[in-house]
Amino acid sequence: MASEKTVYMDHSATTATDPEVVQAMLPWYSQSYGNPSSIYRLAGISRVAIDEARAKVATAIGAKPDEIFFTSGGTESDNWALIGTAFSHKGKGNHIITTAIEHHAILHTCEYLKKQGFDITYLPVDEYGQVRMEDLKAAITDRTILVSVMFANNEIGTIEPVSEIGKLCREQGILFHTDAVQAIGNVPINVATMNIDLLSLSGHKFYGPKGTGALYIRKGIRIDSFLHGGAQEKRKRAGTENVPGIVGLGAAIEKAVRDQDLKTSRIRDLRNRLLERILTEIPNCRLNGHKTERLPGNINICFEFIEGESLLLLLDHAGIAASTGSACSSGSLEPSHVLMAIGVPIEIAHGSLRLTLGIENTEDDINYVSEEIKKAVEKLRSISPLYADYLKKRS
C-alpha cells in the first residue's frame, strides 16, 4: 500500500500557494472584476490594485515601480528579456553570452535566436556550477549585446557571482539579464547595487500563484514589445491584466522578502541536517553543487550504482515528492545538462536526487525522509549489477 503520509520536497518545481495569498486574490475574481483599462470606478480599483502589486515587486528587488512589467511567468520573462533585447540591439551586434546551465526557458530561446542569425556563447562552469569571471571576460567581443546568467540554478542550487558579472557588464556597456526565478525569497537581491539591467521572476516559486511573473527592465533600456495588442504595461506587453494573479504575485513577494531571513535560516538548518544524515548514513554518495554558495533549501546528491527514476518511484510510494536529473526520467533520455556541465560522469548522474525544502517542512520530515531514502537506496542497490560488481571488487 502506498503511504498515507506526504512530504513535499520539490519546492524548486513549484510551491503551494500561501492561503493568505489566495485570500488576497479572491476578491478580484467575482467582486472586483473590472477591466483595468476601463474608466468606471469598478475598473479604477483594479488599476490601483495592479499599481500596489507593482510597487511591492519593485520594493522586493530594489527597483522602481515603473521598471516592473507583469508577465505570465518565468518562461515568458526569459523569452522576452532575450528576444526583446536581441532584436532591439542588433544594430550594435549579434552576440549573446549565456551559460551551459541555464533553464530551458533561456537555452531554447537562445537556440531560436541562433536560427535568427545571432551568435550564442555558452560559458562553461566550474565543478561547483559557478561561472568563472575570466571565461566571461574572454568571451566578450565588440559585438556582444547581452549577457544572461542565472542568479541561482534550479537543479544544483548554485548561486552565481551576479554582482561581479553586473559590474563587469556595466563597465563594458553590455546589457545584463539574470533569471532570478529560483533566487527570489531565498537570496537578497538588489538590482541597483548589483547592476542588473533585466531580471526574470516567477510567482509560483515563492508561494504565489502559477502563471504569474514579472520582468524588471531598468529604466532607459531599449527592448522590443513582446505581445502586441492593447496599451497594457506601457504598450510593451499587451493583454488584459491577470488582476487576481498580479495581486497574488504582489502579496507573495512582499511576504517572501519580509520573512526571508527567518525562513531561510530555518530551512537552511533543516537542509543541513538532512544532508548530513544522508552523507553519513549512506555510503557511496556525493553532493553536487557548491557547499556554501547554494540555495538554502537545495540538496542535489548522486547515489552510485542506482538510477534516479526508480528511486523517485520508491520515494513516491513512501509519500515523498522529489526530483532527479537521470536520463531515464527526462523524456528525451538525455541526462541533466547541468550535471553534465559540472562534470558528473553519465552513469553517476543517473543516480541523482534533488530534494528542495520549503517552509512547511519539519524536523520530523528530515527523519522520515532520510530513513526512506536509505531504505530505497539499499533496495535498488540490491538489484543493481554495478553494486554487485562493486561488492565483489571490494572483497
Partner 1 sequence: MYSEKVMDHFMNPRNQGEIPDADGVGEVGNPSCGDIMRIFIKVKDNIITDVKFQTFGCGAAIASSSMATELIKGKTLEEAWEMSNKAVVEALEGLPPVKVHCSVLAEDGIHQAINDYRIKQGLSPWEEKAGHAHGHDDESGE
* 240 touches partner 1 by CB under 8 A: no
Q: Which is nearer to ligand PLP, 94 or 182 (CB)?
A: 182
Beta bridge partners of 69: 215
Question: 328 labelled as ligand-binding?
Answer: yes
* 236 touches ligand PLP by CB under 6 A: no
Using the contact rule CB under 6 A, the part of the chain among 41-49, 71-79, 141-149, 216-224 near ligand PLP is: 71-79
| Buried b or exposed e, range 109-133, using 16+ CB within 10 angstroms | bbeebeeeebebbbbebeebbbbee
Contact 192, 62 (CB under 8 A): yes
* 17 touches ligand PLP by CB under 6 A: no
End-to-end alpha-carbon separation of the chain, Å?
37
Residue 91 class from Cβ within 10 Å (0-12 exposed, 13-18 middle, 19+ buried)?
exposed
120 phi, psi to nearest 5 deg? -120, 130
Alpha helices in 185-334 (DSSP H): 243-258, 260-281, 308-317
Q: Which three cell numbers stand for residue 228?
A: 502586441
60, 68, 70, 74: which one contacts ligand PLP (CB under 6 A)? Answer: 74
Q: Which is nearer to partner 1, 225 or 384 (CB)?
A: 384
Catalytic annotation present for 328: yes
* 329 touches partner 1 by CB under 8 A: yes
What is the smallest separation between the CB atom of 305 and ligand PLP, expressed in angstroms? 29
Identify what 350 binds: ligand PLP, partner 1, none; CB under 5 to 8 Å per kind. partner 1
Distance (Å, whole) CA 175 – CA 197: 6
What is the smallest separation between the CB atom of 133 and ligand PLP, expressed in angstroms? 21
Q: Which three cell numbers stand for residue 379?
A: 533496495
Give residues in contact with ligand PLP (CB under 6 A): 73-75, 78, 103, 105, 150, 154, 179, 181-182, 202, 213
Residues that bind partner 1 (CB under 8 A): 305-307, 309-310, 313-314, 317, 326-329, 331, 333, 346-347, 350, 382-386, 388
Question: Which of the residues are catalytic?
Answer: 328
